[in-house]
Structure 1
Amino acid sequence: MKTSPRWRQSVVWLHVVSSVAWMSQALALVVLMSAGAPAMADRLDSVLLAPMANVSAFTGLLLAGATAWGYLRHWWVLTKFALTLIQLYAGIFLLSPALRESADTGAVAWPQVAGAALMASALAFQAWLSVAKPGRKTPWSPAAKPPTAPTWVFVAGIAAPAFDVTAGLLLGYPLPALELVTLGVLALERRRRHRRARRPSARSPRSAPAASSPGA
């Protein structure tokens, strides 16, 4: 099945834009917390940073799963995958609750500033990994290159974040619902593509028997 390069490039563009936004907003958190404005930092985190983090993580996971890069074929992709999961966990369960507490009390905790700075640094390192693509393939890299997903997967890579960000703004809190559903569907589609790639190719028709040699 053919894949539209335009839609794939659109998802790459969205991934780059959302990742830069996530990193710049993490730096803005450092500035706001250092300036003693925890309420503004909490507002920035909930309204802008969290949705951009979701979009960046979603598009990165989708591009890895929908293209030949895969999740486990290259060390630099696997490193980005691990760092993304760590940052999402730290942001949702550690940094965001701490920012809400600081907004309520008006007190600035320096571990929060350090956490936001570490997040921005990790995102900058991930950007370098995307450009340099260092390292070799992992031991879990399959011999055959995974096929690229069909166009509808990349269309969903644009539509799902647009829907979730809009819904989150209307509801007042991040809601990556359709993005999670899309990743689940992508996992099923990826398994189907692997199965198709492993199927033996159809045998070519047998050649006609060779003509008997002269004098036979």
Structure 2
Amino acid sequence: MAHLLDNHVLLHLANASILTGIMLSAMTRWGFFRYWWVLTKFAITMSQLYAAVFLLSPRLTALAEGVRGSDPALLFATALMASAIAFQGWLSVAKPWKRTPWAEARLDVPPPPRSVICLVLLAPVLDWLLAEVVFGHAAPLFTTLTAIGYPIWRRVRLARRAS
């Protein structure tokens, strides 16, 4: 059951979670690299993503296929992941550390257009449809395009306004 949840539910929820975190950084005054707590959350998120894909998922697959019995490392890794998520939640509320030394002085970030907010909400759904209907496996195409495209679009838009 854990294998099915991992491949058909948690994978898509993880992609949606990463997108919302990245887009909240991109669309708000917090930014990506302005505050240590945001940078820490980003590093934890990326570590969790790769740990889940390359370490936990193969172990769940092996467990589902009956290759080996109970795996204490899987239990430990799951507890570690849950603890990291709790720590990230605490970071979001407490915002404990100051700005990074390379933070830009300007903090006025214009709000994104409603169309961008709709795209952020729609991208994980479109990725899920793409995965389930077209490819048969996860393909975070719209999530990736949104996460990469919006900061570039905003930078170009701000440069045009400044000139």
Tell me the equivalent position of 1:165: 128
Please state whether the residue corresponding to 1:134 is helix, strand or coil.
Answer: coil
Question: In the TM superposition, what whole-angstrom CA distance separates every residue of 1:133-190 from its partner, at most 9, and x where no partner exists?
Answer: 1111111110111523322221110111111123333354322111001112113123
Unpaired runs of 5+ residues, structure 1, are: 1-39, 201-216
Aligned match for 1:191, one of 128, 136, 155: 155
Cα distance, 1:98 vs. partner? Answer: 1.4
How many residues align? The count is: 160
Tell me the equivalent position of 1:60: 21
Question: In the TM superposition, what whole-angstrom CA distance separates every residue of 1:19-73 from its partner, at most 9, and x where no partner exists?
Answer: xxxxxxxxxxxxxxxxxxxxx1111111111111110011110110122110001
Q: TM-score, normalised by structure 2?
A: 0.89
Cα distance, 1:106 vs. partner? Answer: 4.9
CA RMSD of aligned residues (A): 1.8
Amino acid at match of 2:51: A
Q: After TM superposition, list the pairs within 5 Å mapping 1:19-38 onto structure 2.
A: none
Give the distance between the partners of 1:107 and 1:175, measured in 2 at CA: 31
Q: TM-score, normalised by structure 1?
A: 0.69
> Whose Rg is larger?
1
Unpaired runs of 5+ residues, structure 2, are: none
Tell me the equivalent position of 1:131: 93
Give the distance between the partners of 1:145 and 1:196, measured in 2 at CA: 18
Cα distance, 1:193 vs. partner? Answer: 4.4
**% identical equivalent positions:** 42
Please state whether the residue corresponding to 1:50 is helix, strand or coil.
Answer: helix
Give the distance between the partners of 1:189 and 1:100, measured in 2 at CA: 40
Give the distance between the partners of 1:79 and 1:194, measured in 2 at CA: 27
Q: After TM superposition, list the pairs within 5 Å mapping 1:1-216 onto structure 2.
A: 40-104=1-65, 105-148=67-110, 149-170=112-133, 171-196=135-160, 199=162
Give the distance between the partners of 2:132 and 2:94, measured in 1 at CA: 35
Please state whether the residue corresponding to 1:96 is helix, strand or coil.
Answer: helix
- Judged with a 3 Å threshold, the aligned counterparts in structure 2 of structure 1 residues 52 and 103 are, in CA distance, closer, same or farther, namely same
Please state whether the residue corresponding to 1:85 is helix, strand or coil.
Answer: helix
- Judged with a 3 Å threshold, the aligned counterparts in structure 2 of structure 1 residues 158 and 47 are, in CA distance, closer, same or farther, namely same
